[in-house]
Amino acid sequence: MKNTLKQLTLLGIHIGFAVPAFAGSIWSAADSAAPFAVRYKDSAAVGTITITSTAITCTDDGEANAISLSSGDNDTLSDIVAAINASTNGTGVKNFEAVLWAGLAADATTNSYFIARSAATVDRQWDYDNKWDTSNVKRYDAAVGTLVNTTYVNEGQIDRIFGNAIGTGDVTISVYVDGSVKWQRSITSPVYVKAEDNATNVADNAVFFDYEVGIDVGNQPAFVRAARATTATTGGIGLSESRR
C-alpha cells in the first residue's frame, strides 16, 4: 500500500510539472478587438466615455474632455492613451486611466478607426469595450491575459494562433509581446485555383491559418494580429494560451 501511495504521489508531482495550471482559447471576431483598456478611479463620482466620428470624449463628473480624431491630431494610439490619461474633472484631478491592449503605440488613428460608442459609464474595473473598426484598419487583433490593477497577468505562453482572415490582399500575421514582434509570417493572397470548367484559373482570397508558436509572455502586454493589405471584413483571429 505504501508503495502504491508513493507511486501515485510521484505521478501527481510529474503531472503538476507537465500540465499547465490553466489553458484556454480566445477568439476575437471583426470589430471586437479593444486597442486600449480604460478605467475610472473615483468611486464617489461618475466617469463616461463616448466615441463619435470626430472625437473620444471622457467626461469626469460632468467635465467633458474631448480628444480630437481629426487628421493631424492624436495621430497614434499612444497619443490617444496619453490624452485619456490627461483628462481631468472640474478641479484638475485626473481620474481616467488608459493602457494599450490589442494595439501598438505607433498604430495610426483617425476618425474612422474606432467603432462609435454611446456614452458608457466606466468604473474602477478595466473596460475593454472601445473597439477597432476592422474594415477601416484592415486587420484582426486578439489580446491575451487580463489586467489586475496595472499588471498584465499572463504568466505563460501563447501556444497556437489561428484564424479566418476574411478580406483581400496579402496577410501578415504577427505576435507582439510588450510592443515588439516575437513571431511573424506572411501569406500571399490571392492564390489561383482551377475553375470547374477547367479552362481558367479563379482567384481565391480565403486565408485560414493555424500555427503552433510557443511564445513566452510573462506579465507583459501581448496580442496577435492578422493584417490584410487591401480589405478586411467579417473574419476573426484566435489564440490558445497556457498559464503555469
Domains in the chain, ordered, with CATH? Answer: 16-32+135-244 (2.60.120), 34-131 (no CATH)
Give yes or no for a contact between 130 and 35, defined as CB atoms under 8 angstroms apart.
yes
The CA distance from 193 to 170, in Å, is: 16
Give yes or no for a contact between 49 and 119, defined as CB atoms under 8 angstroms apart.
yes
The CA distance from 142 to 237, in Å, is: 6
Local confidence band at 6 (pLDDT 50, 70, 90 cut-offs): very low
| pLDDT tens, position by position, 130-155 | 999 999 999 999 999 888 887 787 65
pLDDT at 19 over 60: no
The CA distance from 61 to 46, in Å, is: 5
Grid coordinates given for 45: 463620482
pLDDT at 226 over 90: yes
pLDDT in the model for residue 36:
97
**What residues contact residue 196 under an 8 Å CB cut-off, 6+ apart?**
none
- Looking at residue 29, its amino acid is A
Element at 183 (helix H, strand E):
strand 180-187
Q: Which of the pair, 4 or 92, is modelled with greater confidence? A: 92
CA distances to 60, 146, 207, 244 from 20, rounded to whole Å, are 42, 17, 31, 5
Give yes or no for a contact between 98 and 197, defined as CB atoms under 8 angstroms apart.
no
pLDDT in the model for residue 72:
72
Give yes or no for a contact between 47 and 126, defined as CB atoms under 8 angstroms apart.
no
pLDDT in the model for residue 81:
97
Give yes or no for a contact between 170 and 218, defined as CB atoms under 8 angstroms apart.
no
Give yes or no for a contact between 212 and 239, defined as CB atoms under 8 angstroms apart.
no
Grid coordinates given for 227: 493584417
**Out of 59-63, 107-111, 167-171, 188-192, which region has the weakest mean confidence (pLDDT)?**
188-192
| pLDDT tens, position by position, 81-102 | 999 999 999 999 999 999 999 9
pLDDT in the model for residue 178:
94
pLDDT in the model for residue 70:
78
**pTM score, whole prediction:** 0.85
Name the burial class of residue 107, with classes exposed (0-12), middle (13-18) and buried (19+) by CB atoms within 10 angstroms of its CB.
Answer: buried
The CA distance from 194 to 26, in Å, is: 35
